[in-house]
Structure 1
Amino acid sequence: MGAESEVAAQPQSLAPDADRRMELSLRRLRPRLEEAFRAEPDADPALWDAFSDRLDRHFPALFGPLVALYGDRYDFFFHLERVLLLALRSWLDRPADLRELDARREADPAWFQSERMIGAVAYVDRLAGDLAGLRTRLPYLRELGVTYLHLMPLFKVPAANSDGGYAVSSYRDVHPAFGTMAQLADLATDLRREGISLALDFVFNHTSDEHAWAGQLLAGADPDDEEASAYLTFPDRTLPDAYGRTLRDIFPATRPGSFTYRPDLGRWVWTTFYSFQWDLNYANPTVFWRMAGEMLFLANRGVEVLRLDAVAFVWKRMGTASESLPEAHLVVRAYNVLLRLAAPALLFKSEAIVHPDEVASYIAPDECQLSYNPLLMALLWEALATRRATLLRQSLAERLRIAPGCAWINYVRGHDDIGWTFDDGDAAAVGINGYDHRRFLNAFYTGRFPGSFARGLPFQENPRTGDARISGTTASLAGLEKALAEEGPAEVDLAVGRILLLHAVTLAVGGIPVLYLGDELATTNDYGYRDEGDKVDDSRWVHRPKFDWDRAARRDDPTTIEGRVSTGLRRLIAARRAHPAFGGNRTEVVDPGNDHVFAFVRRRGGDRVLVLANLTEAPQNVAANQLRVHGLAYAFADLVTDTPTTPDPDAGLTLAPYQVAWLVPGSPTGER
């Protein structure tokens, strides 16, 4: 719609008689919903009973956010009824096997907190060519122990200006080069049979300018007609300039500003990221309804997790940064309730690369049950560069704690760049200047700092400010590329140690560990992207190489680097899956008395594991009394090596360079 007036006001508070209003609304709406159900051919009464029961349980949680977002509109109840009818029809259309999955998930809502959860992420084309090829690679995923597979954007996008798949032209069509929506649904079924949950990106802050909804406007639809216009557009610069005074530029070096003039539209369009990505206007309830339909469509194709892309940006308000506003949380909560009504098996995963304290604000059972843990990822790399755990320990001591019923997604690196998102207050508390430290880390991981082992590339580097983010595969950032090209076997050993240390920590800390496929083979940077015209200016493609199946064939050969890393990682995965303490999200960061060692305790029920990670290329000692205090024992078994460990009362325990120990009191237990 047009935006001649302010996009949104503060959320409206519920009236004092909110409960009565809610009950009256449901009483009036239920007969209309039941009438719609009975109009369906061959309607199964059991389906209505299930939906009606969920409606009783969840309607209050839906009514509250929707009233806060849209309750001051004259047509509020029209939109409320339309949303509920959408949920009902989606439930009736849901395949029987997915309804059975819903029942299992409702009976076991903590299923994703199991120690057996192992995640993997990949681009369809880079891993297997297309969806048909991916189905032939399921045995490889099974061998790794994968139970959660996140496929990077695979929906239809423009031939050019696709932003790596994040400029979606249709949420109901797979990009033709990858296959069809029917093939995606079949793949989801196959994955489910293997015990693997399918996760996809849901880009819901914006669409491509080639989406059909954008086409309506470009074809002459009235921008002030809410049914026809899904975007934020403006006739002149008055409001864009007013909003722009408090907005930050996402790509200041290459694309300053958040608005784009479209001569073919004769209007300015809100474009937070790129000029070809048009921001949706969630202040328009028709947009909420439309996107709910896309979400539920994907749920009925077997998707079990949706990653909510750019979740912090979905609501705009004059005079603010239009990031992480209260309304953004209300939108997600309302969508969450719709899923409880129509597709209870589906979970949300937040993607909010913002201040660490804001990341946690999206994590709740009624909002996003899963969330990326960018702070852990960034600070593990920081700790390897400094060889010290001080900032890592300071930052995570409290921030790893999240609500019961939720889980972190822990990762060494992803498809995106690495940004140094730590809190400057945390840095100052351990004597670090945040600005200077980020410049050091950028220099270190681009190999510009003397003595650096890393071989990364800068992304979105700003020479004026020194700001940048880092691109590179795990192996190249951990020193393997440099060791192979410039050094020797000793440095290769150290690089392999760093790679396995990073994975050992993410496998042990609370949450779901996720592996970028290819890292298990110690894949180094692929500079071939320089020859691909549409990628040459985006250094992130250096860490998105095509999966090398010839190298994968060497994964069991201990004389190869691929074999050393792959077998080491699979051994860690097996140890995690065998020990209940690695389930759940409870993690206690502790001080082992040595700043070169990162330490934490995992507890679940009566099971306990003390994790120690030596962040340096030199042996490090942990005193015996520290092990007793944090491990609650004098003798231990190391789950990593499957051997007993009894620290010397005087000498304590010495960790070899980059060694990680998972210590349990007594002897190893569980299957190996």
Structure 2
Amino acid sequence: MYEGERTQREAARSLARLLPRVAQAFADAGGSADDWTVFEQRLRREWPRLFALLLGLYGTQYDFFYHLEQLLLAMAQSWCERPVWLKQRDAAREADTEWFQSERMMGGVLYVDRFCGTLNRLREFIPYFKELGFTYLHLMPLFEAPEGNNDGGYAVSSYRRINPQIGTTAELAGLARELDAAGISLVLDFVFNHTSDEHEWARRAQAGDPDYQEFYFLFPDRSMPDAYERTLREIFPTVRRGSFTWRPDMQRWVWTTFNSFQWDLNYANPAVFRAMAGEMLFLANLGIAVLRLDAVPFIWKRLGTNCENQPEAHQIIQAFNAIARIAAPALLFKSEAIVHPDDVLSYISPWECQLSYNPLLMALLWESLATREVKLLAHSLSHRFRLPAGCAWINYLRSHDDIGWTFDDNDARAVGIDPWGHRQFLNTFYTGRFPGSFARGLPFQENPDTGDARVSGTLASLAGLEQALGSGDPNQIDIAIRRILLLHSVILSIGGIPLIYVGDEVGTLNDYRYVTDPTKAADSRWVHRPKRNQAAMDQRHDTTTVAGRIFGELVRLIRLRAQLPALRDGGMEIARSENRHVLAYVRQSGSQRVFVLANFSEYSQTIAGNLLRMYGPGNELFDLVGERTVSANEALILAPYQFVWLTPER
């Protein structure tokens, strides 16, 4: 008998044995017969996959079937408690599995406390989000976390209690429903690699509870930490050298990949997997539409490796995916894997993470802006952009985090670039140290041993607006605005879901006041996490202001995108522009075709007419952005940082 057939037989037998008890528990909890029928159908569909994954992860554990039964009971209980409106959304999105691949999808991301203070206050800004065309709103971590430095909320002390200064869990659930009624899907982080050292599980471990000590990696001496660290890379070298923290209260070393107050969870323990599955289903039942899976590469540890992107990490996420398909089918996963492009792609599939950040596009857009050349961007996208059916990129220009140069070294060498030297140049350029640089960024986590670093800064400051405003030169201000709009034009037209860090739409600059706060001063990422720029928002309809120019053009592009099915998620073909400064690509859906050209230089560039005839949809074209006719029988002149979206003549 083949191994797969044996596993399928075991899956069938286990379900037959466990199902009666689960059905009885569902009925005892007040679940209806109709709801049970729906649950059972989904369970039978997903069970072979879920069972095989869990068997591979935990099948050698003596109590494997106990954990399996408890997981089934928790799933049934969660479905029984799932609000009716969410069950209706489940059914609708199961019937329309491509709902998130529409040309109308538009995302925004913000910190609630930085933007407006509270969840209740955030409701007042729903009209603003709709004005921007948002159909997707990501709220950065807002759950209980330690006072002071908590890694921007990523040190979670409870997955079920909101930071009381921000609001309550009931208010979050109410906001989710109100956003849904406005056509906006709510996105939250699922910080499942680690908890804070103040989480209940960590406190029990600190108190000596052996069950909860097995939730983490605790070592009495340096022998095992030293063995692991021979192959680990340092993530926050300026915060703490190494990946382990000594806890004198426990007389133990604790695995802390990121900060000393963030304890890595031990997913080799099935109790950890089951506990986190329960937290995931709790969040899903609040009305969360998408969970951003934080730090996905790090969730499985193996001695002798860098403990990143291990096979079991994928199995764990796939198992969470199967659980969601059973008990919360409308829930999607978005992976946060800021690693090598090959590893980023490995997390993306309908059965793992349907969505993923696109760090390669983000990094190489900034690379092209600095070099004024698109050769690395075009070469990398030509073979690294395509995704499996049923999946989509989240295309962004910046986030709450730093910018790292995660391009592939061989891609760089293929176009004549030295990878190490180029990363040094980019760090120098975007921290304003390179002669003639327009950028005003700050270094993040410079490693004196390796020379590695990343970059912090708002989009506007990195794109030159801060420098231009300081000079008072209207020409430089105009050029900076053109850069900002050029970058947005690409994420709006290249396919996937565009994501705006709220504040960028009005040209928010770096906020250097973070250095006066002792809990933030050591983390330069706070320079691009400013409070709401209300003054700029008030100017958004005044096109004589910088904020108004950026906002007005950006909203116009967003509305234009929403009218172009060719820009929905799907195929993207890189075209050879024969001009090293101009990125060119084709978007097509059905009979509609759009040819995009983007000039990454501050000088005018010429595109030959034969290129327009080769890739463009006809001899007479219409530039949707400039609202003008373009003839493919003559050369096209692109002004500095100009972009065009070409379709057949109207």
Q: TM class, shorter-chain normalised?
A: over 0.9
Equivalent residue, structure 1, for 2:33: 45
User: How far off is 1:228 after superposition?
Assistant: 6.2
Paired residue for 1:26?
A: 15
Paired amino acid for 1:528: R
Decide which of 374, 381, 390 is 1:389's aligned counterpart: 374
Is the CA contact (8 Å cut-off) linking 1:638 and 1:661 kept in structure 2?
yes
Quick one: which of 216, 221, 232 aligns to 2:204? 216
Of 23, 43, 62, which residue of structure 2 is paired with 1:74?
62
Aligned to 2:271: 286
CA distance in 2, matches of 1:118, 1:253: 36
Distance 2:21 2:570 in 1: 42
Quote the offset at 1:627 in angstroms. Answer: 1.1
Post-superposition offset of 1:234: 1.5
Match of 2:511 among 489, 512, 526: 526
How far, CA to CA, are the matches of 2:414 and 2:333 in structure 1? 34
Residue of structure 1 in register with 2:167 after alignment: 179
Q: Structure 2 regions of 5+ residues with no counterpart? A: none
Query: How many residues are paired up?
Result: 649
Q: Could you tell me whether the CA contact under 8 Å between 1:247 and 1:320 is conserved in 2?
A: yes
Give the 3 Å change call, closer, same or farther, for CA 178–503 of structure 1 in structure 2. same
Which of 632, 640, 662 is the aligned partner of 2:625? 640
- 1:261 deviates by 1.4
Cα offset, 1:253, TM superposition = 3.5
Aligned to 1:506: 491
Aligned-pair distance for 1:25?
1.5
Matched-pair contact (CA < 8 Å) for 2:335–2:353: yes
Corresponding residue for residue 54 of structure 1: 42
Task: After superposition, give the CA deviation of every residue in 1:586-609 in whole Å (9 maximum; x if it has no partner).
Answer: 211121111110011111122111
Which residue number in structure 2 is paired with residue 659 of structure 1? 642
- 1:371 aligns to 2:360 (yes or no): no
Q: CA RMSD in A?
A: 1.2
Map Cα deviations across residues 342-364 of structure 1 (whole Å, 9 max, x no partner). 10011000000100110000000
- Please name the residue that 1:139 is paired with: 127
- The answer to whether the Cα contact below 8 Å between 1:213 and 1:229 also exists between their aligned partners in 2 is no
Distance of 2:274 and 2:564 partners within structure 1: 44
**Following superposition, which runs of at least 4 residues in structure 1 exceed 6 angstroms of deviation?**
none
Shift of 1:463: 4.3
Amino acid at match of 2:465: L
Report the equivalent of 1:106.
94
For 2:69, give the aligned amino acid: E
Secondary structure, in 3 states, of the residue corresponding to 1:601?
strand
Q: How many angstroms does 1:462 deviate by?
A: 2.9
SS at match of 1:452: coil
Superposition TM-score, scaled by structure 2 size: 0.98
**How big is each residue's C-alpha offset from its partner over 1:526-557, in whole Å with a ceiling of 9 and x where there is no partner?**
11112112111111111111112222111111
1:115 aligns with 2:103: yes
Task: Tell me the SS of whatever aligns to 1:570.
Answer: helix
* Structure 2 Cα separation of the partners of residues 550 and 375 of structure 1: 33
Query: 2: CA distance between counterparts of 1:364 and 1:162?
Result: 32
**TM-superposition CA deviations, 1:402-432 (whole Å, max 9, x none):** 1010000001111111111111111111111
Alignment pair present for 1:584 and 2:569: yes
User: 1:598 touches 1:614 (CA, 8 Å); kept in 2?
Assistant: yes
CA distance in 1, matches of 2:590, 2:3: 41
The offset of 1:194, in angstroms, is 0.3
SS in structure 1 of the partner of residue 547 of structure 2: helix
1:439, distance to aligned residue in structure 2 (A): 0.8
Contact preservation (8 Å) 1:408, 1:585: no
**2:410 paired residue number:** 425
Match of 2:287 in 1: 302
Distance, in Å, in 1 between the alignment partners of 2:507 and 2:43 is 49
Q: Is 1:130–2:118 an aligned residue pair?
A: yes
User: Is the Cα contact below 8 Å between 1:351 and 1:371 reproduced in 2?
Assistant: yes
User: Please, which of 438, 442, 447 is the counterpart of residue 457 of structure 1?
Assistant: 442
Aligned amino acid, residue 212 of structure 1: E
**AA aligned opposite 1:382:** E
- Between the aligned residues of both structures, percent identity stands at 59
Q: Which stretch of the first structure deviates more once superposed, 361-370 or 127-136?
A: 127-136
5+ long unaligned stretches in structure 1: 1-12, 668-672
Following TM superposition, by how much is the alpha carbon of 1:461 offset from its aligned partner in structure 2, in angstroms?
A: 1.8
Q: Which amino acid aligns with 1:334?
A: A
Matched, 1:17 2:2: no
Q: For 1:662, give the aligned amino acid.
A: W
Write the distance in 2 (CA, Å) between the matches of 1:316 and 1:406.
27
Deviation at 1:16, TM superposition (A): 5.1
Q: Aligned ranges for residues 141-156 of structure 1 at < 5 Å?
A: 141-156=129-144
Code of the residue aligned with 1:138 in structure 2: it is: I
Which secondary structure does the structure 2 equivalent of 1:137 belong to?
A: helix
- Supply the distance in 2 between the matched residues of 1:294 and 1:209 (Cα, whole angstroms): 17
Displacement after TM superposition at 1:304 (Å): 0.6
> 1:538 is matched with which residue: 523, 538, 555?
523
2:423 paired residue number: 438
Contact kept? 2:237, 2:446, Cα under 8 Å: no
* Matched residue SS, 1:155: coil
Which secondary structure does the structure 1 equivalent of 2:446 belong to? Answer: strand
* Counterpart residue identity of residue 325, structure 1: Q
Sort the Cα spacing of 1:601 and 1:658 in 2 relative to 1 into closer, same or farther, 3 A: same
Instruction: For 1:585 and 1:275, locate their aligned partners in 2 and report how far apart those are by CA, in whole Å.
Output: 42
